[in-house]
Structure 1
Amino acid sequence: MSTDPYTVVRMSGTTLADWLRSRDDAALVALLRARPDLATPPPADMSVLATRVGTRASIARACEDLDTFTLAVLEALVVEGADTSPVGLATLARVLGPDVKPRPLKQAVAKLLSLALAWGDDELSVPPVTREAFGTFPGGLGRATGQTYDLSGVGEGELRVLRKLAAGPPIGDTKDASRVVPLDKAETPVQRLLARGLLLRRDPGTVELPREIAFELRGDRPLGPIQTVEPKPKTTALRQTSVDATGGGEALELVRHVENLVTSWSAEPPPVLRTGGLGVRDLRKAAKDLNVDEQRAALLIELVVGADLVANTEAAEPEWVPTTKADVWLAATAEVRWATLAHAWLELPRLPALVGRRDERDKLFNPLADEIRRAQAPRDRRWVLETLAAFPAGTSFANPSDLAALLAWRAPRRGGRQRDELVRWTVEEGTAVGVLALGAVTSAGRVLLDEGAGPAAKTLGEALPEPLDHVLVQADLTVVAPGRLEPDLADELALVADVESAGSATVYRISEGSVRRALDSGRTADDLHELFKVRSRTPVPQSLTYLVDDAARRHGRLRGGAAGSFLRCDDQVLVSEVLAHPEATRLELRRIAPTVLVSPLPLADVLDGLRSAGFAPAAEGPDGQVLDLRPGGRRTTPRQRSARKPAAPAVIADERLGEFVRLVRAGDRAAATPRGERVAVPGHLGSGPSATLSLLQQAARARRRVLVGFVDSHGTAAQRVIEPHVVGGGVLEGYDHSYGEVLRFPLHRVTSAALVDED
C-alpha cells in the first residue's frame, strides 16, 4: 500500500459531465443547495448542468463562499494549468509549499469537489473560465516561457527589481522598455535585465517577469506565504444576563425614539425631495427634535420607512407621513414594537451608514434616497450577525476589526471594497437596535436570527424587568420613573409631563403647558390629582396641587369649535324660519348668535339643501362678495408609483432539489434512448401529433415511464417523469412516482416526450 498521503483512487481524463454522473444523489442535492443558480431553471440533463457549472458568473458567485485557504488551493490549480490538463495532488501540494499539511489540503479539495469547482480524484481539473476569476496574473505570476534562467552574476540593483516583480504583480511600467539595447550599452537595471533575457518586453512602456524566475526567487513557497487557518480573534467572556440587560435598555430607547419620530411626523410631515429621499434640513430637524446625532436619526428614519410605519404619500406635493400600521404599532407592547423594528433592520436592503457621506462624484447621500439601496445588504448583515452568534453565548468582540479580519479570511471575496466598513456599520447599528450589546449578541438577537420576530419579542419580554405601576413625584415638579412603566401609566404621564432625560430612570417635568395639554385632552383637575395621589410613592408636593388647580381654573373659559359653513342674515325672523324648517336638522344647523347659524357640513351642501327647501341663499367670500360655487371639471392628482422591493430568492427545499436530480438523471437516460423512441414537439402537437401520441400510448401499454416536457398554465416550462395511464381525448393522465400523485396534462401543452430506461 502506498504511503503517499495524497494517494486516492485514480480517475483521470474524466469530463465534468461524466464526473457529475458518477456522484450520488446526496452529493448532487448538496451541490444544488450550495449553488442555487444551477437549479434555475431545472437542468434538462447532466450535460446542461455541467455547462452551467462552468459559466463565468456561476463560478464567481461560488468563489464568494470560499475561505482564504480554499481559494488559494483553487488558484494553485489554475497556476498549474488545471483548466487545460489534470493536476495531481502531489504537484498541487508542492506548489502550495511546505506550510500546507495533507489534512487541510484534502479538506479544501473536498470543498472544491462538493461545489464542482474542481473534479477528479488524485488528478484534478477545473472549468476553463476559472482562470478569469483570478485576473490576468493568477498567483501574482507572469507567463511561463519553458526556459531555464541563470541568475548568477546578477547585480544587487537588478535583484531588487526581480524580487519586487516576483512578489507580484509581475509587470512594471518603465521608460527603459522603449527598446532593447546590448548588454555592454545597458545603463539601468531594467535595460541590463532585458538584455540578458531575464525580463520580457510587453510593449514600449511595460516589462514582465517570467514565471520560472519568480518561482526561483520565491523558493519553496511558489505562491508565497499561505494562511491555512483562520485568525483567532480576541474575545471576552461576559455574563449573558449583563448582555441582555444592556440590550434591553437599548431596545427600549429605540422604541421611545421611534415613537417620538412617528408623533413628530404625524404633526409635521417632512416633504419628499424631488429626486426622492429626505432633505438635509429635515434630517437635522429630526435629530434635534429627538435629541440624537444625525447618524442615529438617519438610522431611525430608515427603520420607520423599512417597517412601513411611514410612507411616501406620492401626492402632487408628496410627504413622508405615518401609515395606518403606525397606529397598530403604537398600541402594541414595547417588546413587540422592538421586534418589528429589529426585523425591519435585519431585512433592510439599504445601508443607513452611508447617509452623510459622498459618492465618487461628491454627491451627498440623503436618507431614504435610492443611492443607498444595496440588494446584498440583508445577506451581508446576517452574515456578520450569524458569525457572532456562532460563538458561545456572552462572547464579546471588543474590537470590530478582529471580527472584520475573521470574516475577511472566511470569505475574502464577499462584501466588496466596503467589507471591513460593513462589519463596523453592522456592529454599530446592531448595538443601536438592541440586537447586539457590549460586543456580543443578545438572547433576543439570537432568537431573531433563528426563529423570527415573534419569538424574539417573547425573549426580550422575559429579559426586561417587570413594568412598574408607580412613580416618584419630586418637590421641584419633576417625576422620576425608576424603570419601565406600565403602558397605561406611561401614556398618562406622557400626557401630563414632558421627558427631561431618559435612561435606566426617566425624568419627567411638569409645567403649566403640560398640565394644559392634559386638560385639553379631556382630563379634569380631579383626574390629575387622583393620578398623582394613587401612582406616586412619594407625597404629592403642594406646589403641584396649586399648579393643577390654577391651570384648571383658567382652562376652557374661552371656547372654540369647528364649523364647515355659516349662514348670516340681518332678518332674525328669517333665521328663525330656517332653523325651524325640518331641513335644518339634516343640515345640522345651530344658532350661535341671533343672526348667525353654523353647520359642520360644506357650504355647497348647505346651500343646495336650503334651495331644495324653498330658500334662496347666496354664497359669500371673506370680503363679503358673492361667490360662484358651481363645480368645475373633474381632476385627478398624478401619483408616483413606488418602486417594488426586489423579491429575495426563495430557498429550494431538499425534496424539490432531489426531484431536480431525478429529472436530470431521467434526461440523461432519455438522451441515451435508441433513436426512434424519442419525440420532440416544437411549440405544440400541431406539427406532429401522431408520433407523440404513439409514443405515449406505447408507454401506457408497456407501463414504461416517460420524461414529459410541458408548459404549465403560467407559461413556465417544466419536466416530469410520468407513467402514462390514459392517453386520449386531448389529455395525458399518468402517475408521478416522485410526488406520489396522479397528474393530468392537456396534450397541446406537451413540448417533448421521451422513454426513460428503468433504473
Structure 2
Amino acid sequence: MPATSLADWLRAESDDTLTALLRSRRDLSTPPPSDTTVLATRAGTPGSIARACEDLDTFTLAVLDALLLEGADADPVPLAAVAALVGTDVTAALARLRARALVWGSDDALRVPPSARDALGPFPAGLGAPSPALAGADVETLLAEVGSDEHALLTKLAAGPPIGRTRDATHDLPLARAETPVQRLLARGLLLRRDDQTVELPRELGIALRGGVVFTERSLSEPDLPVHPHQTSTVDKTAAGEAMELLRHTEALLTSWAEQPPPVLKSGGLGVRELRKLAKDLEIEEAHATLLAELAVGAGLVADSEAATPEWVPTTLMDSWLASPAAQRWITLAQAWLELPRLPGLAGGRDAKDKPIAPLSEELRRPLAPVARRRVLAALAELPAGDGVKSTDELVAVLAWRAPRRGGRLRDETVRWTMAEATTLGFVGLGALTSAARALLDEDRPRAVEAILDALPAPVDHVLVQADLTVVAPGPLEPELAAEMAAVADVESAGHATVYRITEASVRRALDTGRTADELHALFRTKSATPVPQALSYLVDDVARRHGRLRGGAAGSFLRCDDEALLAEVLANPVAEEYDLRLIAPTVLISSFPLAEVIDGLRAAGFAPAAEGPDGRVLDLRHGGRRLPAKARAARRGTGEPAVLTDEQAGRIVSNLRAGDAASARRRGAAVRAPVGGGADTSATLELLSRATLGRREVWIGFVDSRGTASQRVVRPVRVGSGVLEGADNERYPLHRITSAALVEE
C-alpha cells in the first residue's frame, strides 16, 4: 500500500536511509527534530527544498519538473508517465530525489512535496498551464494557420518562461477585429489571458513548438569538456612562472605600501586613485592589482591601521614572509586565496545603489566564495593530470549543467573569475591543474611545498654584469644575492631573466646601508660570471669618495648648563654612563634616552635639573595617567558551507526520531501537566514518576531540551532523585525540563 504522506514514508524507511538524508540535507537537523512528523514538515518547506536542489544536476531537476508537470504535488503519479515525459530512463534520478526526500512513494504512486512548486517556480520545465480548449485539438494544424510574426512570438515563449507582458491583452477581441499578433493569438485561443497585461502560452503549444518533447536530448546530457593533453612537468613549470611573477608583484606592493600606505576609504576599501597607481607602478591590469591587494590583506600581510586617519599598512608578518623561501611564500598566498571569503572579481562593478564597488570593501564579502572556488578546482582535478580545458566557457557550461540552481546570478562569472585568478596564482597552467594545487586541495601541504619546489627554477648564485652598467640575473637569485642586488641596483625589467640597472643613486643607496666601496667591489668580482667593466668600478669609487663627508646623528634629549664644572660633575657620576650622556660642546650634553627618563635619573642621583621647551620655558613632564594599548580587531574569515554532519551525530538524531515516534504512537492515560512558573508545586509529576519506577511501568514524558526544542519520549524509569529522571536506556532527563507525564497503558 503506497505511503499517504512524507512522514509515513520516512517512518517506514531504515535508519541508514534517514542518516543519509540528514547528512545530505544539513538544515533538517538544526535544531534536531523531535519525531518524523517534524522532520517531514521541515523537509517540505520551500526554503529547505530550494537548498536541497542546489547540488542537483540538470537531468535530475528535469525529472522533478516532469513530476510537477504530471501533478505529483497534488496526486500520486506512476513512474511510466514521468519516464514518457522525460523520454528516457529516470531510475537513477529518482533514486537521488528519494535520497533527499524530494520524492517518495512506490513507482506506481510517486509524490513530491506540495511546496515544491513554490521552491522551483510556477512553470516547471518552462511550460505554462494546460488549456482545456486545446484538449484533443490538432495543435500542428493550428500552428500552421498563424502568421510569421505570431509564430515568432510563440516560439520565444516556448523557450520559457511562458509568460509575456503586453498592452494588447486589455480586451478580448474577435479575430476579425484583432490587429496585433497578441490579439490574434488570444482570439484563436493560442494564448491565455491572465490579466490586462499578462498572457501565457498553453502547455500543449509549448511542447509542440519544442518538437513534441518537453526536454531535448541535448539538454539532458552533460556537455562535453574538450581538453588539451600536456606533460605534467610542462604544466607545473608554466604555472611556476606565473607564481614567480605573483611573488614579485606582492613584494613590490608590500614595499610600496610600507613607504607610503594608501588611505582607507570612509566607506571602507581602497580608492580608485590608489588602485590605478598600484597597477601603473607594477605594470599590471587593475583586476590583477585588486587580486594582489585582496591576497595581501587575506594573508594578514596588510591590515587596516584603524587609526584616526586609517591606512592600509603592512603588518609585522611582512618581514617574516619576505625572509621565507619562495615556495613557502607561495603556499601562504595560495592558502589565503583558497580560504578567501570574498570575490575580488566584483570590484569595479556596481552595487544595488549603482555605486562603484571598491577593492577591499565589505561589498566583496561572500562567505560561500571558498566553496565556489573549490568547486571549480575540483572539476579540473577530475581530469587526468596534465589535461587542460580548451576554453573556460566550456567549463562554465559543464558546471552550469551539473548544478544549475547553485551560485545565483554570479554562477557563471564566478567560474571565469576563479579560472583567471587560479592562473595568476599558478594554480592552473595551460588550463590544467598543477601538482601543487592538487596537493593543496587534498590538504597535503608538505606535498604541495615539494611540488612547487620541483616546478620553480633553481636559484642561481651569479649574475652577468654588462658594459652599459646593467646586470642580468639569468634566473631567480639566491636570497642573499637577491638582497645584495636589490640594495645596489634598480630593477629595469623583470621576468625569467631580471635586468638590473646600476646608477649613482643606487650605489649611494647601498653605501647608506653601511656597505663600503670595497664590499661592493668584492660583490661584483665574486658574483659576476662576466668581467666587471671598468666603468662600474669608477662609478663605485667616485660615489664612495663623496659619500659621508657630512654626517648626522640622533639624540633623544640634551642638557645645557653655563657652569662647566657642574657638567663635569654629571659626567663623572655613574648616571652619565647609565643614560649615555656625551659632551658635544663645553656647555652641552646629549643623550639617546628620552628627556623625562634623563631628568628622573639625574634627580635620583642628587642633581636638580629642570626640563625646558623650545622657547626656554620650564616644562612639566609628569605622567598624565595610565594608557592601555588599543586591541586589534580579530580577523574575520568566511564560514563557507555548514559543517558536514557525521554518521555518529546523524545516528543520535535518528535514535531520537524513533523514540519520538514511539512516544507518539503509544496509548497513554491521563497526563499530569507540569505547572507553569518556577514557584509552582511539581509533587504530582514526581509522584507519578515514582509510582512508575516502583511498578516498573513505562511512562510517557514531554520535555524541552537545552535548545528549547519540545519532544516526547517513552521511558522505563529506574530511579528518580537529585532532580533527574534516569531511564533504562541510560538517558537522564532533568526534572525541571519535563513538561508532562503519563503512565503508558498496558
TM value normalised by structure 1: 0.87
1:159 and 1:461, CA in 2 relative to 1: closer, same or farther beyond 3 A? closer
Match of 1:87, SS state, is: coil
Aligned to 1:131: 117
Q: Residues of 2 paired with 1:331 and 1:696: CA distance?
A: 72
Q: State the AA in 2 paired with 1:128.
A: P
Contact 1:250 / 1:434 at 8 angstroms: preserved in 2? yes
Q: 1:448 aligns with which of 437, 440, 443?
A: 440
Match of 1:392, SS state, is: coil
Q: Report the Cα offset of residue 361 of structure 1.
A: 3.8
Q: Residues of 2 paired with 1:490 and 1:680: CA distance?
A: 80
Residues 1:488 and 2:485 are matched in the alignment? no
Aligned to 1:394: 386
Q: Report the Cα offset of residue 749 of structure 1.
A: 5.8
Q: Residues of 1 paired with 2:326 and 2:249: CA distance?
A: 12
Contact 2:367 / 2:639 at 8 angstroms: preserved in 1? no
Q: Residues of 2 paired with 1:702 and 1:465: CA distance?
A: 78
Residues 1:45 and 2:45 are matched in the alignment? no
Q: Report the Cα offset of residue 43 of structure 1.
A: 1.6
Q: Greater shift after overlay, 677-686 or 617-626?
A: 677-686
Q: Report the Cα offset of residue 196 of structure 1.
A: 4.8
1:683 and 1:484, CA in 2 relative to 1: closer, same or farther beyond 3 A? farther
Q: 2:654 aligns with which of 658, 661, 670?
A: 661
1:275 and 1:148, CA in 2 relative to 1: closer, same or farther beyond 3 A? closer
Match of 2:468, SS state, is: coil
Matches for 1:495-534 after TM superposition, within 5 Å: 495-534=487-526
Contact 2:207 / 2:214 at 8 angstroms: preserved in 1? yes
Q: 1:19 aligns with which of 2, 9, 21?
A: 9
Residues 1:85 and 2:75 are matched in the alignment? yes
Aligned to 1:118: 103
Contact 1:339 / 1:454 at 8 angstroms: preserved in 2? no
Q: Residues of 1 paired with 2:313 and 2:743: CA distance?
A: 62
Q: Report the Cα offset of residue 396 of structure 1.
A: 0.8
Q: Residues of 2 paired with 1:537 and 1:547: CA distance?
A: 20
Contact 1:314 / 1:639 at 8 angstroms: preserved in 2? no
Aligned to 1:324: 316
Q: Report the Cα offset of residue 223 of structure 1.
A: 5.0
Q: State the AA in 1 paired with 2:652.
A: E
Q: Report the Cα offset of residue 646 of structure 1.
A: 4.9
The CA deviation string for residues 599-645 of structure 1, in whole angstroms up to 9 with x for no partner, is 22222333344455554544444454555556657788988957844
Residues 1:671 and 2:664 are matched in the alignment? yes
Contact 1:666 / 1:707 at 8 angstroms: preserved in 2? no
Q: Residues of 1 paired with 2:169 and 2:460: CA distance?
A: 81
The CA deviation string for residues 670-727 of structure 1, in whole angstroms up to 9 with x for no partner, is 3223325988867889663663685489579969899996655x99999999997664
Q: 1:688 aligns with which of 671, 682, 685?
A: 682
Match of 1:650, SS state, is: coil
Q: Residues of 1 paired with 2:459 and 2:146: CA distance?
A: 77
Aligned to 2:21: 31
Q: State the AA in 2 paired with 1:229.
A: S
Q: Report the Cα offset of residue 374 of structure 1.
A: 1.5
Q: Report the Cα offset of residue 483 of structure 1.
A: 2.4
Contact 2:668 / 2:744 at 8 angstroms: preserved in 1? no
Aligned to 1:600: 592
Q: Report the Cα offset of residue 82 of structure 1.
A: 0.9
Match of 1:321, SS state, is: strand
Contact 2:718 / 2:728 at 8 angstroms: preserved in 1? yes
1:143 and 1:257, CA in 2 relative to 1: closer, same or farther beyond 3 A? same
Q: Residues of 2 paired with 1:282 and 1:689: CA distance?
A: 74
Q: Report the Cα offset of residue 39 of structure 1.
A: 1.5
Q: State the AA in 2 paired with 1:501.
A: S
Residues 1:473 and 2:473 are matched in the alignment? no
Contact 1:466 / 1:484 at 8 angstroms: preserved in 2? yes
What RMSD, in angstroms, separates the aligned Cα atoms of the two structures?
Answer: 3.6
Residues 1:560 and 2:545 are matched in the alignment? no
Q: Report the Cα offset of residue 302 of structure 1.
A: 0.4
Matches for 1:358-377 after TM superposition, within 5 Å: 358-359=350-351, 361-377=353-369
Aligned to 1:172: 164
Q: Greater shift after overlay, 510-519 or 391-400?
A: 510-519
Aligned to 1:578: 570
1:186 and 1:251, CA in 2 relative to 1: closer, same or farther beyond 3 A? closer
Aligned to 1:70: 60
Contact 1:683 / 1:751 at 8 angstroms: preserved in 2? no
1:437 and 1:684, CA in 2 relative to 1: closer, same or farther beyond 3 A? farther
Residues 1:242 and 2:234 are matched in the alignment? yes
Percent of paired sites with the same residue: 59
Q: 2:202 aligns with which of 202, 207, 210?
A: 210
Q: Greater shift after overlay, 583-592 or 396-405?
A: 583-592
Q: Residues of 2 paired with 1:745 and 1:175: CA distance?
A: 66
Q: Greater shift after overlay, 57-66 or 324-333?
A: 324-333
Aligned to 1:433: 425
Aligned to 2:88: 101
Q: Report the Cα offset of residue 663 of structure 1.
A: 2.2
Unmatched segments (≥5 aa) in structure 1: 1-10, 737-741
The CA deviation string for residues 377-428 of structure 1, in whole angstroms up to 9 with x for no partner, is 1111111111111111111112111111111111111222222221111111
Match of 1:566, SS state, is: strand
Q: Greater shift after overlay, 125-134 or 146-155?
A: 146-155
Contact 2:47 / 2:119 at 8 angstroms: preserved in 1? no
Q: Report the Cα offset of residue 216 of structure 1.
A: 5.1
Match of 1:384, SS state, is: helix
The CA deviation string for residues 513-572 of structure 1, in whole angstroms up to 9 with x for no partner, is 333333333333444344334433334444444444444444433332221211223433
Q: Report the Cα offset of residue 650 of structure 1.
A: 2.0
Matches for 1:614-653 after TM superposition, within 5 Å: 615-624=607-616, 626-627=618-619, 629=621, 644-648=636-640, 649-653=642-646
1:723 and 1:561, CA in 2 relative to 1: closer, same or farther beyond 3 A? farther
Q: Greater shift after overlay, 721-730 or 604-613?
A: 721-730
Q: 2:267 aligns with which of 246, 250, 275?
A: 275
Match of 1:403, SS state, is: helix
Contact 1:700 / 1:723 at 8 angstroms: preserved in 2? no
Residues 1:305 and 2:297 are matched in the alignment? yes
Q: Report the Cα offset of residue 440 of structure 1.
A: 0.7
Q: State the AA in 1 paired with 2:643.
A: A
Match of 2:75, SS state, is: coil
Contact 1:200 / 1:209 at 8 angstroms: preserved in 2? yes
Q: Residues of 1 paired with 2:489 and 2:27: CA distance?
A: 58
Q: Residues of 2 paired with 1:318 and 1:671: CA distance?
A: 61
Q: State the AA in 1 paired with 2:113.
A: P
Residues 1:408 and 2:393 are matched in the alignment? no
Contact 1:699 / 1:706 at 8 angstroms: preserved in 2? no
Q: Report the Cα offset of residue 57 of structure 1.
A: 1.1
Q: Greater shift after overlay, 47-56 or 644-653?
A: 644-653
Q: Residues of 2 paired with 1:323 and 1:51: CA distance?
A: 51
Q: Residues of 2 paired with 1:630 and 1:322: CA distance?
A: 34
Q: Residues of 2 paired with 1:513 and 1:159: CA distance?
A: 77
The CA deviation string for residues 428-461 of structure 1, in whole angstroms up to 9 with x for no partner, is 1001111111111000011111115454223212
Aligned to 2:129: 143
Q: Greater shift after overlay, 386-395 or 664-673?
A: 664-673
